[in-house]
Structure 1
Amino acid sequence: MAEPWLSADDIAAHLGITKDTVYTWIAEKAMPAHKVGRLWKFQASEIDDWVRRGGAAADSHPSPPG
């Protein structure tokens, strides 16, 4: 059976984050997402692999102030 496509709301709930964070991570952290029309769709297995590889980790080298 094929893995179902999940919405941004579903992925946010899966990860325990807000939907705004999902959209930020798509833009800034290359979160695996697929555009279907106007909607972003996700597969939990891709997201889980991305998280395990450190895709959602905070930047370890923040920009210096100034």
Structure 2
Amino acid sequence: MISEPEKWSNLEEIAEHLGVSKDTVRNWIKKGAIPYRKVGKQYKFKISEVDAWVNSGKSAEIE
């Protein structure tokens, strides 16, 4: 059985998923904290990678 590849999420979707503002996500991007990819001028995220980042406790280490 072949599973569908995970879709990429945009900045607005990931902010909603995490329950934070888009500015908070932008600050994490600037600090290189949150896992993301840049596609052109847009930031893209895999929810599974972001969830793993949160579950690892690294999100709590951001100042």
Equivalence for 2:20: 17
Q: Which among 57, 60, 66 is matched to residue 60 of structure 2?
A: 57
Equivalence for 1:41: 44
Normalising to structure 2: TM-score of the pair? 0.86
**4+ runs of 1 displaced by more than 3 Å?**
none
Identify unmatched segments of 5+ residues in structure 1.
Answer: none
Equivalence for 1:26: 29
Count residues with an aligned counterpart: 60
Pick closer, same or farther for the CA change 1:40–1:30 going to 2, 3 Å: same
Percent identical residues: 45
Could you say what secondary structure the match of 2:26 adopts? helix
Normalising to structure 1: TM-score of the pair? 0.82
Identify unmatched segments of 5+ residues in structure 2.
Answer: none
Structure with a larger share of its residues in helix: 2
Q: Which has the larger radius of gyration?
A: 1
